[in-house]
Amino acid sequence: MEIKVLGPLEVQVGRMSVVPTAGKPRQLLALLALNAGRTVAVGTLMEEIWGPRPPRSASSVLQTYVLQIRRLLEAALPEDSRDTAKDLLETRPNGYALNAEPQLCDVQESDRLATEGRRALAAGDDRAAAELLRAALDHWTGPVLADVKAGARLSIEVTRLEERRTRLIEEHIEADLHLGRHHELLGELAGLCAEYPWHECLHGQFMVALYRSGRQWQALEVYQRLHSALVEEFGLEPSSRLRRLQRAVLRSDPVLERRGRRGFNSPVAALEAVGSGTPLGAGTPIGTGAPLGPGAPLASGAPIRSGAPLRPGASIAV
Give tens-digit pLDDT for 109-123. 999 999 999 999 999
List residues bridging with 105 in a β-sheet: 3
Domain boundaries, the chain: 2-101, 180-318
pLDDT for the residue 310? 39
Q: What is the Cα–Cα distance from 173 to 192, expressed in whole angstroms?
A: 11
Given a cut of 60, is residue 278 above it in pLDDT?
no
The chain-wide mean pLDDT, for the chain, equals 84
Amino acid at 273: A
pLDDT for the residue 307? 39
**Quick one: average pLDDT of 301-315?**
40
pLDDT for the residue 113? 97
Given a cut of 90, is residue 297 above it in pLDDT?
no
pLDDT for the residue 217? 95
Given a cut of 90, is residue 148 above it in pLDDT?
yes
Give tens-digit pLDDT for 72-98. 999 999 988 889 999 999 999 999 999
Given a cut of 70, is residue 194 above it in pLDDT?
yes
Q: How confident is the model at residue 259 (pLDDT cuts 50, 70, 90)?
A: low
C-beta separation of 245 from 223 below 8 A: yes
Q: What is the Cα–Cα distance from 224 to 246, expressed in whole angstroms?
A: 9
pLDDT for the residue 161? 95
Give tens-digit pLDDT for 237-250. 999 999 999 999 99
pLDDT for the residue 260? 54
Q: What is the Cα–Cα distance from 317 to 161, expressed in whole angstroms?
A: 23
58 Rama class: left (phi>0) / alpha (psi -120 to 50) / beta? alpha
Given a cut of 80, is residue 42 above it in pLDDT?
yes
Q: Which has the higher per-residue pLDDT, 13 or 314?
A: 13
Quote the pTM value: 0.77
Given a cut of 60, is residue 288 above it in pLDDT?
no
The CATH number corresponding to 2-101 among 1.10.10.10, 2.60.40.420, 3.30.300.30, 2.40.170.20 equals 1.10.10.10
Given a cut of 60, is residue 177 above it in pLDDT?
yes
pLDDT for the residue 257? 80
